[in-house]
Structure 1
């Protein structure tokens, strides 16, 4: 039941990101997106999240789960290709949605920027370092259960 709850919650988050993207692309970020286009965008974003997860599984797993992920994500090329492509698309989507908004709505107040820029300069290097260490520490394929 816990696995089912996690899976349902993950699909709900992926669909809600798609729904938010649909609202941004219509230029009305403060009103819910409606209509078939919103449903299509939400489903497409959820499918992109699923493909990205399959690419990651193909990189990290072994045995039957690896074979299933490779079969679903495709056998052409190296597993990194699918993972990199979906990652690039996921990085591009918010930029595309942000460009659909008017410039005045995207610009922050100078006082806000005066607070955020120094904070980002302090916080970003440790975040990047921790992420790099995590990828390095867990770079090998998963061969069995590990709860540590």
Structure 2
């Protein structure tokens, strides 16, 4: 395996972990007023997020570091070319994090509750649109510059990718809450989980049906990933119906992770594809000397973050209730 592939797998792992862990944050934020229908319930939902909320973003920071260090050409082209979507994503992250953190300290609670939902919705939608835009093909010119326009985003496939990601993460967040909270909130989250999972399956199927004109270079691999995604969501439906919250969360975690290999395998050996050309993995990577120098740091980083996450989950493994102290 080449160094470029080692770094590509490493980048996929950290981004996939972020989609799983940050994904249930965004899903929980969107469902916040539906599950927490009164002040007591909303406090419990915030308490469920509390111990992990900011720690989950470590994976996004790790992804950014890998992208900047190992794939600098991709980083420069991707961030600048898709800056409208990444600007929207940044807005969602800032608004959502600030609203959750400050919600318990302000008097105008209704406005901040709305910002919690908006932050999660914007972040989930933005990531879905990014995935859809990459699979659909970006306007990558012969000069190596991506000039994304909103007309490249507002098309059926990309929009449905955004919708599918929102529904998928809402289902992931609902299953997370059935595993994390107690009392009547578990029942509310459980009642939402099954229809959301079924809606996620339907939205994925519709998105796949619209993929005929996309820039996917490996359609067989892409369809295989989509099939695994549908199977995982279907398994989650049956597991959630049988109150197997732990295994249902494993299934939805796999579902939340799969968009990352969908892009990686579907566009291989390219990062960016368009009718005018594309950027291959080798073209987007740093030189061999840089990849060799950074490799020990990259290989050491992931186990440290995994250990931290495992310790955090073990330390706060109990279900939360109205009596549980909350950071928010």
TM-score by length of 2: 0.42
2:241 to 73, 76, 97: 76
Residues 25 and 101 in structure 1, CA contact (< 8 A), matched pair in contact too? yes
Give 1:22's aligned residue.
132
2:281 to 106, 118, 128: 106
RMSD value over aligned CA atoms?
1.9
Residues 70, 147 of structure 1: CA spacing in aligned structure 2 closer, same or farther, 3 A cutoff?
A: same
Give 2:263's aligned residue.
97
* Stretch of structure 1 that moved more, 107-116 or 31-40: 107-116
1:35 to 143, 155, 164: 155
Aligned length: 148
**1:89 & 1:136 partners in 2: Cα distance?**
23
Q: CA deviation at 1:102?
A: 4.3
Give 1:131's aligned residue.
309
Give 2:325's aligned residue.
146
Q: CA deviation at 1:143?
A: 1.6
1:10 paired to 2:130: no
What are structure 2's unaligned runs of at least 5 residues? 1-110, 140-145, 195-239, 271-279
CA offsets per residue over residues 87-146 of structure 1, 9 Å max, x none?
101211111112232415234232342243211122222211110001101111102241
**1:3 & 1:43 partners in 2: Cα distance?**
22
Give 2:62's aligned residue.
none
* Greater relative contact order (CA < 8 Å, ≥ 6 in sequence): 2
TM-score by length of 1: 0.89
What are structure 1's unaligned runs of at least 5 residues? none
Residues 106, 27 of structure 1: CA spacing in aligned structure 2 closer, same or farther, 3 A cutoff?
A: farther
